Amino acid sequence: MISSNMQKRLNDHLNREFYSSYLYLAMAQYCETINFSGFATWMRVQSQEEQGHAAKFMQYMDDQGATVELQAIAAPPVQFRGPLGVFEETLAHEQQITAQINDLYSAAVTEKDYATQIFLQWFITEQVEEEKSVRDTVEVLKMSGEHIIVMDHRLGKRGS
């Protein structure tokens, strides 16, 4: 059984996972409008991954007898600063999510909530991978310059 404080924190983070999915859908749509369908594909796959993360939080809360409270999802932006800007914003967003998961873990440690600590360890590892993947893409985009079309093609293969 988790505390009411932890339940609230987990529900708040659940909302962040859904917002992440929504944000990546908005980025996918933006990429489509500027004719970068490979970037759009990458973002749609990322959006689905975030939905999976939200599902993990919901399942964990159900398993712990906690009440899942779905909250309104904030509207994401619709305009971005080109493909590089999209991935720079993605990196900044993933870094925020990492900080929030670390904060959740700290709260679980303070409350001696061992089950939640174990649950969150998967997400801590996942965030290291997420940040690395996006950081690597940002660096390649910075170097690609006029060869950005090649990057668009490469990113479009994600999930295939």
Q: What is the pLDDT of residue 153?
A: 75
The answer to whether the CB of 29 falls within 8 A of the CB of 40 is: yes
Tell me, yes or no, whether 104 lies in a domain. yes
Q: With pLDDT > 70 as the criterion, what percentage of the chain qualifies?
A: 96
Tell me, yes or no, whether 73 lies in a domain. yes
Tell me, yes or no, whether 30 lies in a domain. yes
pLDDT 10s digits, 3-36: 999 999 999 999 999 999 999 999 999 999 999 9
CATH number for the domain that contains residue 69: 1.20.1260.10
Tell me, yes or no, whether 60 lies in a domain. yes
The structure's pTM equals 0.91
pLDDT band at 154 (very low <50, low <70, confident <90, very high): confident
Task: Give mean pLDDT, residues 77-95.
Answer: 96
Tell me, yes or no, whether 144 lies in a domain. yes
Tell me, yes or no, whether 100 lies in a domain. yes
Domain around 45? 4-155
Tell me, yes or no, whether 160 lies in a domain. no
From first CA to last CA, the distance across the chain in angstroms is 40
Q: Which residues contact 156 (CB under 8 A, 6 or more apart)?
A: 37, 38, 39, 41, 42
How many separate domains does the chain show? 1
pLDDT band at 147 (very low <50, low <70, confident <90, very high): low
Q: With pLDDT > 90 as the criterion, what percentage of the chain qualifies?
A: 85
Q: What is the pLDDT of residue 144?
A: 77
Tell me, yes or no, whether 93 lies in a domain. yes
